[in-house]
Amino acid sequence: MAPSIQNRNNAGDLCRPWKLLAFGDSKADNRSGLFSAETLFRGEFPTLVQISLTQIPNALETRIGLPRPDWAVICDWVDANVGGDAELNEGYAPLARDWLDALIDVLPSGYTRSESPEFLVLSSGNSPSAERLLDCCESARRIILDRLADVASDEGNGKHVLFAFAKAETYYDYVADFYPDAGDFALSGGMFLDRGYGHMVIPMVYAGAYERTIAHELTHALLRHLPLPPWLNEGVTQVMEDIVLESSYFIVDRETLRKHRDYWNADTIDAFWSGESFYSPDEGQELSYHLAQILFRNLVSDYPRQIARFLNSADYSDAGDAALVETCGVSLGDRVAQFLGKGTWAPRTDYAVFDEHNPAAFACPHPRFTPQ
């Protein structure tokens, strides 16, 4: 089991910067009118407390050439030195700004920090501009919270953070710190890193797909409070991409069906339920994302009124099977058989959250976006 700060499924955590769950309510502050449209993009953000990472001993460590905050240390310090729930939300804003500024200090020139009511963005250049990225983030957040009402949650302290790295090299240097030392992992086009201060990271070399990637990773961020099995998490996020973008590349043709029927068996489906296959360096990754989408789309189509309850009760330990039986009266094995035909498809009941040596515990390796 990962340390508690990294464990999104430990409801007892007190220390979870972004969003730092269980500390205050950022939405309440924003609704109170502290932030108005006039302050958007101007950096005029009121603060109740002024604290800085430089005040906190051992708050930053450099690994792989980049500063890495130790959020456990920072949380302990904030816990001991900042009182009052109202101040905690504001307290994390300057700390997150310092985090971005520490990165800007060591990154190639051109990187800037930009801010809107709900987001902090680190980006470089004008394609797209920081304002466009912030606008895209704010818009996606509103749509996701609206369409996943009663499921998605924006609870927590601090703002959502997005790192938009201009070069793939910088992106991989950054995310390498979140991976185990050895092993082959698929390339990715964006991640929500659910460790410490959960944040989104995307390489802008695939800039044409940034809106879709932001919608995907932000959906993960807004679902992080739920113990979702990986396949369900990826199924929802891909459907939300299409809703936010109002477009879809989802298809199931004869060739795709053949690939699925060739690939899935008792062993590979077990890796699908556990989440491992989403990190496969071979075709297993693409087929996993696709199968997740097929299963989720079919459930939405067949059980539209039960979906919210299913999402709120699904648990990774059995890939959501018991919750599906309870809310929809069907099993996961049945649903897979509906698409792939008869087989040994039922999930086990003892899946665990991957530990810190497995990136699946906190990262979604969103595949590079490749329009069909």
Binding positions for Zn ion, rule: CB under 5 A: 234, 237, 364, 366
Q: What's the min distance (Å) between Cβ of 225 and Zn ion?
A: 16
In the numeric block, which tokens belong to residue 132? 């466009």
- Residues 12 and 108: their CA atoms lie apart, in Å, by 40
Question: By beta-carbon distance, which residue lies closest to Zn ion?
Answer: 364
Closest distance of CB 271 from Zn ion, Å: 16
Tokens matching residue 100 = 């971005």
Rank residues 162 and 364 by Cβ distance to Zn ion and give the closer one: 364
CB nearer Zn ion, residue 113 or residue 160: 160
* 89 vs 285 by CB, closer to Zn ion: 285
Give the whole-angstrom CA distance, residue 231 versus residue 221. 16
Tokens of 140: 């996606």
CB of 237 to Zn ion, least distance (A): 5
| Minimum separation from the CB atom of position 200 to Zn ion (A) | 11
Contacts of 40 (CB under 8 A, 6+ apart): 116, 117, 134
User: In the complex, what is the shortest distance from the CB of residue 366 to Zn ion, in angstroms, rounded to a whole number?
Assistant: 5
CB of 171 to Zn ion, least distance (A): 16
Closest to Zn ion by CB, 97 vs 366, is 366
Nearer to Zn ion, 86 or 360 (CB): 360
Query: How many Å apart are CA 99 and CA 101, to the nearest integer?
Result: 5
C-beta closer to Zn ion: residue 234 or 270: 234
Asked if 78 and 13 touch (Cβ cutoff 8 Å), the reply is: no
Of the pair 72, 360, the CB lying nearest Zn ion is at: 360
Tokens 């201060």, residue? 197
Residue 204: alpha-carbon gap to chain centroid: 17
Q: How far is the CB of 89 from Zn ion (least distance, A)?
A: 27
Edge to edge, the sheet with strand 199-203 lists 111-115, 119-124, 160-165, 199-203, 191-193
Among 334, 339, 265, residue whose Cα is nearest residue 297? 339
Q: Is residue 342 within 8 Å of residue 334, measured between CB atoms? A: no
For residue 265, give the amino acid letter.
N
3-state helix, strand, coil in the chain (%, to 5): 50, 10, 40
Closer Cβ to Zn ion, 118 or 234, answer by number: 234
Task: Tell me whether strands 160-165 and 199-203 are parallel, antiparallel or unpaired.
Answer: parallel
